[in-house]
């Protein structure tokens, strides 16, 4: 258990993340920070009042400044505007970059030793903004992308096969967007290659649905975007860090030559522990998967060019 975890942004993703963190007993205190007066305080109080029923002693507090967040060991950043119907992740880049810059400056000042788990979109570029502004090493700025994308992919496969999601092993790499790369060659059902259970004609639409997973929910909700699965994904990463579990999870990491890529964040297999990003695992990819990963990384670089840090 950590002493303190801060969640920046008290919208649907941030508030749900704070509740899940508390219910999993991952810190003595969870601080929910947001600029809107009363909102983080009200949601934090509401969550704390659920503690006697849910059985957690984690104190959830809300704040409009970063004073209560001081010394946090992990900071989950969810701040930013959400996508609206017809809006791509790239449409968000300038507005959310300004928000993440301000947040990163505050984290640097109040939580200089923290590990940042970035959730704000466009995810890979926001990781880069936070790393540049905070000046943290790559081990301490990690993006929640592949965990969510993989969860969607696994859910769709379990549905198609009518099997438990627990038996689907899979990994989605690349940028968090339309160019993400579900690794079919590493997808199994209790060790059985997925290609032995589903023909390509059925598998390809599932892969495409995983790529469009966020947009599908946005189109259904009309006035918002996903938050249950994104919050679960962020908390799985925090749990791996807080409990030093050495989990191998697909996360957005700053690449320095791995997979032949450098100078950008991209989703790759990562070992997460108390030190944050403890290792990037380089796995063998098919020529098609490697080509797709490089194309996804190029898309991230193009979005990086939209802003200056």
3-state secondary structure 43-100: HHHHHHHCHHHHCCCCEEEEECCCCCCCCCCEEEECCCCCCCCCCCHHHHHHHHHHHH
Residue 271: closest CA among 262, 260, 258: 258
User: Would you say 72 and 285 are in contact if contact means Cβ atoms under 8 Å apart?
Assistant: no
Rounded CA-CA distance 7/79 in Å is 9
- Selecting among 120, 176, 187, 276, the annotated active-site residue is 176
176 is catalytic: yes
Task: Calculate helix-pair angle for 146-161, 200-211, nearest 10 degrees.
Answer: 140
CB atoms within 10 A of CB 45: 12
Q: Give the active site residues.
A: 176
């Amino acid at each position: 258990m950590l002493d303190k975890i801060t969640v920046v942004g008290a919208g649907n993703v941030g508030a749900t993340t704070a509740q899940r963190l508390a219910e999993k007993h991952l810190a003595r205190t969870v601080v929910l920070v947001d600029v809107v007066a009363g909102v983080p305080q009200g949601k934090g109080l509401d969550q704390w009042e659920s503690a006697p029923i849910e059985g957690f002693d984690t104190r959830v507090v809300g704040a409009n400044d970063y004073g209560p967040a001081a010394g946090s060991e992990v900071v989950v950043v969810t701040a930013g505007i959400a996508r609206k119907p017809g809006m791509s992740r790239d449409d968000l880049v300038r507005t959310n970059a300004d928000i993440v810059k301000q947040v990163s400056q505050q984290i640097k000042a109040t939580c200089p030793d923290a590990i940042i788990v970035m959730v704000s979109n466009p995810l890979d570029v926001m990781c880069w903004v936070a790393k540049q502004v905070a000046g943290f090493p790559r081990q301490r700025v990690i993006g929640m992308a592949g965990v969510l994308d993989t969860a969607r992919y696994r859910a769709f496969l379990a549905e198609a096969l009518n099997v438990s999601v627990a038996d689907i092993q899979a990994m989605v790499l690349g940028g968090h967007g339309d160019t993400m790369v579900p690794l079919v060659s590493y997808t199994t059902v209790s060790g059985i290659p997925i290609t032995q259970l589903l023909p390509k004609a059925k598998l390809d639409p599932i892969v495409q649905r995983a790529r469009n997973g966020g947009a599908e929910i946005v189109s259904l909700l009309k006035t918002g975007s996903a938050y249950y699965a994104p919050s679960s994904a962020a908390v799985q990463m925090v749990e791996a860090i807080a409990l030093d579990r050495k989990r191998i999870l697909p996360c957005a990491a700053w690449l320095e030559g791995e997979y032949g890529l450098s100078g950008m964040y991209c989703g790759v297999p990562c070992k997460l522990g108390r030190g944050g990003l403890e290792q990037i695992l380089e796995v063998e990819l098919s020529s098609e998967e490697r080509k797709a990963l490089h194309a996804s990384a190029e898309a991230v670089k193009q979005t990086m060019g939209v802003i200056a840090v």
